[in-house]
Structure 1
């Protein structure tokens, strides 16, 4: 039995400004709508680091630097691929916030999250971003686990 499996790699980045606000994206994708952090797919032969910088710039207009890997999320797709989301955090960026076709992006205070429609599972993911004792959000076919 081989250990290789098909996998899809993506990223998501929590960007925090000097006021303690977080940058969120109100996704319009019907497959996963609602408020979340910007991010996207990692291209073949692209480093994880470069991919998160590229995706954030494409979706927000901001050029981030020094993104720090702070956790992950994973689950199996209907096609039995492992879907991996790498979580990053940064407070370093330049540029002006500009929304994209992915959805409107804007700054909010973290306590305001409860006032919005959030993407499915986003609050569980947010725990990983904010709690240094947690590092992974794992969904098996029946349940979700935080490690």
Structure 2
């Protein structure tokens, strides 16, 4: 029995303005996961996880995040037997001016306003991981009869 499996590694970052209590979001153009979400993307070969978060945040928002903190992970099985893992980060220290990129429109909003926006599937379920130290993982099972099982660990 092999102890290795294929893994697709990605990241996502909540950038929060502590003064205004707003979070930076992106209205994604990607048809496979459209809607308002946090910036993020793939971890490149030979790139550290934290370096990938800093890079993705800068590419998508124009902000240089400083000391992003790992707050949890989100994962689910892939149809080929592999796993998709999203490393979730949070940053409250950043420099620069925001700008929208090719991925979508970037803007500040409140968490309450997020409830009334179109967000990708499972995005709202993921939000507690950014603020609750008692939860560190959101695990989604394979789809059964069109429904996913969600587990917070």
TM-score (norm 2): 0.93
Q: Which residue of 1 aligns with 2:3?
A: 3
Task: In structure 2, list runs of 5 or more residues that go unmatched.
Answer: none
Structure 1 segments of 4+ aligned residues over 4 angstroms from their partners: none
Aligned-pair Cα RMSD in Å: 0.9
Q: Distance in 1 between matches of 2:88 and 2:134?
A: 14
Note if 1:101 corresponds to 2:102.
yes
User: 1-side partners of 2:80 and 2:105: how far apart?
Assistant: 30
Cα deviation, residue 78, structure 1:
2.5
Cα offsets for 1:79-133 (capped at 9, x unmatched) = 3221000000010111111111111010011111112101111111111112111
User: Within 2, Cα distance between the matches of 1:28 and 1:52?
Assistant: 20
Q: Which residue of 2 aligns with 1:146?
A: 152
What residue ranges of structure 1 are gaps of 5+ in the alignment? none
1:22 corresponds in structure 2 to 23
Q: Secondary structure at the residue paired with 1:49?
A: helix
Give the TM-score normalised by the residue count of structure 1: 0.97
Aligned residues between the structures: 147
